[in-house]
Chain A
Amino acid sequence: MAQTLYDKLWQSHVVHEEADGTALLYIDRHLVHEVTSPQAFEGLKLAGRKPWRISSIVATADHNTPTDHWDEGIKDPISRQQVETLDANIREVGALAYFPFKDKGQGIVHVVGPEQGATLPGMTVVCGDSHTSTHGAFACLAHGIGTSEVEHVLATQTLVAKKSKSMLVKVEGQLGRGITAKDVALAIIGKIGTAGGTGYAIEFAGSAIRGLSMEGRMTLCNMAIEAGARAGMVAVDQNTIDYLQGRPFAPKGADWDKAVAYWRSLVSDAGAQFDAVVELDAAGIAPQVTWGTSPEMVVTINDRVPDPAQESDPTRKTGMERALSYMGLVANTPINEIPVDKVFIGSCTNSRIEDLRAAAAVARGHKKAANVKAVLVVPGSGLVKVQAEAEGLDKIFIEAGFEWREPGCSMCLAMNADRLEPGERCASTSNRNFEGRQGQGGRTHLVSPEMAAAAAIAGHFVDVRTFA
């Protein structure tokens, strides 16, 4: 029978299955960061258990690490303790690779895995982090897990799971100039809603997806979780293989050839059946800007802030009113008249080299607007930072009045010192615009790196396609 990519990934990892469909799935790669792992390591120790396969573990510190003054270390004592706890746990337990605070390979876990070649097609990849879906860009079955499951994977190398339904999201045609994977992701979420993918594993396909770089596919799969899907994935093609060749943990020599031959089978068979199919026309996608406190509250740059008076569903209507009041917005305001106070270019959604190149291309030769208090550019990893500096991107940003920072999660969730003050409005390339996400009372608008850079320069949202 014709199989979907998801069917293949699932089936090749089932160790055991119970009558009710609950399966034990073998886990190939376990990514670990400091926030969701301490209780798991502690639980393991308390139960007198040992990790099953140390060589599956790749760890880094990212959420709590500062993005400036690295010479001063981590000032917040509670943050420091959490990072030091990870150091101690990895020292004790071991790992295939560890990129601690200040290491040149350190960075956001979802940027580090792929760039090291530690994320490979056909793998199951887990991490105590919802954006693990990112790794699905490499035709992996990748999902976020809770801390109890982190402990379960450490102890047993498996996960108790039930197969999801499958959804095909097909984007056909050519994306317009200035339209990025981020816009595609937000347009999909706008269409199906933040719960639209709940219970599904999504495969992204179609000519527009095949046309995306691996960075773009990672951006897209990263946001699958914001559509409610635990996993997003893209089939293997030549882009996948070219990206991986020569990466530190990618197979070499004869193994490489054998691996590539297998990886090429990681596509949905012709005629494979999906439980749901969603189609989008690439040419119809315009730059997206969120206006509310959920990623599904999204419109295009040429729209206006929606009016709750037009909404008939009472729960949705109160949700919209709440969001407008939190965001300090008035219904029917044109999006391109909304001024911004801060801009954040970074996060596991948009902090890879391609994102920084795109933002720099917009910023080149410009200065940030006077009303914009700060523009933070935070590379996703130490390697991205080095690459960007080799290309002179840091200079372009600094000349534009942007701040060039050290790698980490930074103002995506504001666990470190980078945050919005109450009432501040931010154009952000991250993935969540929830209340308080970037700092209590902070107001987040999700956009692409190009749109964020353009907003920094104009001082308000602006259509990057017409921005000179």
Chain B
Amino acid sequence: MQAFTTLNGLVCPLDRANVDTDAIIPKQFLKSIKRSGFGPNLFDEWRYLDHGEPGMDNSARPVNPDFVLNFPRYAGAQVLLARENFGCGSSREHAPWALEDYGFRVVIAPSFADIFFNNCYKNGVLPIVLPAEAVEQLFQETAASEGYRLQIDLAAQTVRTPGGSQFGFEITGHRKHCLLNGLDEIGLTLNHADKIRAFEAARRAQQPWLFA
């Protein structure tokens, strides 16, 4: 996994609540058995005017000029700004894969759906929860100034605006450690293999039917 330390990233505002994972990456692209290549189909139904299918040449498709991701001023954005309950719906990890593949490293919203939130960390994408008023301020400032960037520091757990406002955010120690160091969580867990084995043996003795 890609480590995350600090980022000075261009912000793209997606002013919608309850953005679901079906919208982030529509189901037809879930047929892929690969982990990469989803970026061109991020927000496919909003981003293009035609119906997307896997295998199409996306560069030849008609883009929706009214969709914010297609505004030239947001080209190369690395920070996605959104409203409440971002990432609700399906557990598809293809959603953070698509965001990451497109180039987003941070998503800021007042709240996230649980599974999506968790999936982000596994893929070097940092989801940041800020109070609704702070998010509102960021939306307004992004709209007001072209080239608006945010400075994100994971170690310090801060988001800093060009105007000097600073917001702190929460993250568990475990997630922070993994993200800062780009660690493979499976490797970390396997350090506890003996404990897992002991737990399993005790469980097998108590509830043998679970191990039939």
Q: Which residues of A contact B (CB under 8 A)?
A: 15-16, 18-22, 24, 26, 28, 35-36, 38-39, 42-43, 47, 49, 52-53, 55, 63-64, 76, 78-79, 81-82, 85, 96, 120, 122-123, 128-130, 132, 143-149, 151-152, 155-158, 160, 162, 194-195, 198-199, 228-230, 249-251, 255-256, 258-259, 262, 294, 315-316, 318-319, 322, 413-415, 432, 434-437, 440
**B45 at interface by CB-CB < 8 Å:** yes
Using C-beta atoms within 8 Å of the partner chain, give the interface range for chain B: 35 or more
- CB–CB B209/A259 < 8 A: yes
Known A38-B33, A228-B113, A415-B31; contact A151-B209, beta-carbon cutoff 8 A: no
- CB–CB A437/B22 < 8 A: yes
Q: Complex formed: what's the CA distance from A409 to B119 in Å?
A: 23
Known A78-B32, A434-B22; contact A156-B186, beta-carbon cutoff 8 A: yes
- CB–CB A81/B33 < 8 A: yes
Instruction: Give the contacts of B88-104 with A (CB-CB under 8 A).
Output: 88-93, 96
CB-contact partner of A120 in B93, B193, B210, under 8 A? B210
The residue in chain B whose Cβ has the minimal distance to the Cβ of A15 is B199
Query: With a CB–CB cut-off of 8 A, which chain A residues contact B18?
Result: 194-195, 294, 319
Known A129-B91, A195-B111, A259-B207; contact A78-B85, beta-carbon cutoff 8 A: no
The residue in chain A whose Cβ has the minimal distance to the Cβ of B209 is A251
Query: With a CB–CB cut-off of 8 A, which chain B residues contact A437?
Result: 22, 27
24 contacts between A and B (CB under 8 A): A19-B173, A20-B174, A35-B31, A36-B92, A76-B31, A78-B32, A130-B115, A132-B91, A144-B115, A145-B115, A145-B118, A146-B92, A146-B122, A147-B93, A148-B185, A156-B186, A157-B200, A158-B196, A198-B113, A198-B114, A256-B209, A294-B20, A434-B22, A434-B89
Q: Complex formed: what's the CA distance from A162 to B31 in Å?
A: 31
The residue in chain B whose Cβ has the minimal distance to the Cβ of A38 is B33
Q: Which residues of B contact A (CB under 8 A)?
A: 15-18, 20, 22-23, 26-28, 30-35, 45, 51, 54-55, 83-85, 88-93, 96, 111-115, 118-119, 122-123, 172-175, 184-186, 189-190, 192-193, 195-196, 199-200, 203, 207-212
CB distance from A14 to the nearest CB of B (A): 9
CB distance from A284 to the nearest CB of B (A): 26
CB distance from A196 to the nearest CB of B (A): 10
CB distance from B35 to the nearest CB of A (A): 5
Query: With a CB–CB cut-off of 8 A, which chain A residues contact B88?
Result: 194-195, 228, 294
Known A19-B173, A436-B22; contact A148-B27, beta-carbon cutoff 8 A: no
Query: With a CB–CB cut-off of 8 A, which chain B residues contact A199?
Result: 114
CB distance from A237 to the nearest CB of B (A): 19
CB distance from A203 to the nearest CB of B (A): 17
- Interface-centre pick from A52, A85, A149, A256 (highest chain B CB count, 10 A): A149
CB-contact partner of A316 in B17, B51, B96, B111, under 8 A? B17
CB-contact partner of A162 in B111, B172, B207, under 8 A? B172
- CB–CB B115/A146 < 8 A: yes
Q: Complex formed: what's the CA distance from A199 to B93 in Å?
A: 19
CB-contact partner of A36 in B91, B184, B200, under 8 A? B91
Q: Complex formed: what's the CA distance from A316 to B185 in Å?
A: 38
- Interface-centre pick from B34, B175, B212 (highest chain A CB count, 10 A): B212
Query: With a CB–CB cut-off of 8 A, which chain A residues contact B199?
Result: 15, 26
Q: Complex formed: what's the CA distance from A312 to B15 in Å?
A: 17
CB distance from B22 to the nearest CB of A (A): 5
The residue in chain A whose Cβ has the minimal distance to the Cβ of B122 is A148
- CB–CB A319/B16 < 8 A: yes
CB distance from A39 to the nearest CB of B (A): 5
The residue in chain A whose Cβ has the minimal distance to the Cβ of B136 is A315
Known A20-B173, A123-B210, A255-B209; contact A432-B93, beta-carbon cutoff 8 A: no
- CB–CB A24/B91 < 8 A: no
Query: With a CB–CB cut-off of 8 A, which chain A residues contact B84?
Result: 195, 315
CB-contact partner of B196 in A26, A228, A315, under 8 A? A26
- CB–CB A39/B33 < 8 A: yes
Q: Complex formed: what's the CA distance from A345 to B89 in Å?
A: 20
Query: With a CB–CB cut-off of 8 A, which chain B residues contact A440?
Result: 26, 45, 51
If A129-B90, A149-B122, A160-B185 are given as contacts, then 7 extra A-B residue pairs at C-beta distance below 8 Å, sorted by A number, are A18-B174, A22-B175, A24-B196, A26-B196, A78-B55, A160-B174, A436-B26
CB distance from A119 to the nearest CB of B (A): 11
CB distance from A54 to the nearest CB of B (A): 11
Query: With a CB–CB cut-off of 8 A, which chain A residues contact B184?
Result: 47
Known A146-B122, A198-B111, A440-B45; contact A434-B20, beta-carbon cutoff 8 A: yes
- CB–CB B28/A39 < 8 A: no
Closest 3 CB pairs of A and B: A251-B209, A148-B122, A146-B119
Q: Complex formed: what's the CA distance from A467 to B200 in Å?
A: 54
Q: Complex formed: what's the CA distance from A155 to B193 in Å?
A: 10
- CB–CB B122/A156 < 8 A: no
Query: With a CB–CB cut-off of 8 A, which chain A residues contact B91?
Result: 36, 128-130, 132, 144-146
Q: Complex formed: what's the CA distance from A437 to B34 in Å?
A: 22
- CB–CB B118/A152 < 8 A: no
- CB–CB A155/B90 < 8 A: no
Q: Complex formed: what's the CA distance from A24 to B186 in Å?
A: 11
CB distance from B33 to the nearest CB of A (A): 4
The residue in chain A whose Cβ has the minimal distance to the Cβ of B210 is A28
The residue in chain A whose Cβ has the minimal distance to the Cβ of B52 is A440
The residue in chain B whose Cβ has the minimal distance to the Cβ of A128 is B91
- CB–CB A262/B207 < 8 A: yes
CB distance from B114 to the nearest CB of A (A): 5
CB distance from A300 to the nearest CB of B (A): 22
- Interface-centre pick from B26, B45, B173, B193 (highest chain A CB count, 10 A): B26
Q: Complex formed: what's the CA distance from A228 to B199 in Å?
A: 31
CB distance from A245 to the nearest CB of B (A): 13
Query: With a CB–CB cut-off of 8 A, which chain A residues contact B113?
Result: 195, 198, 228
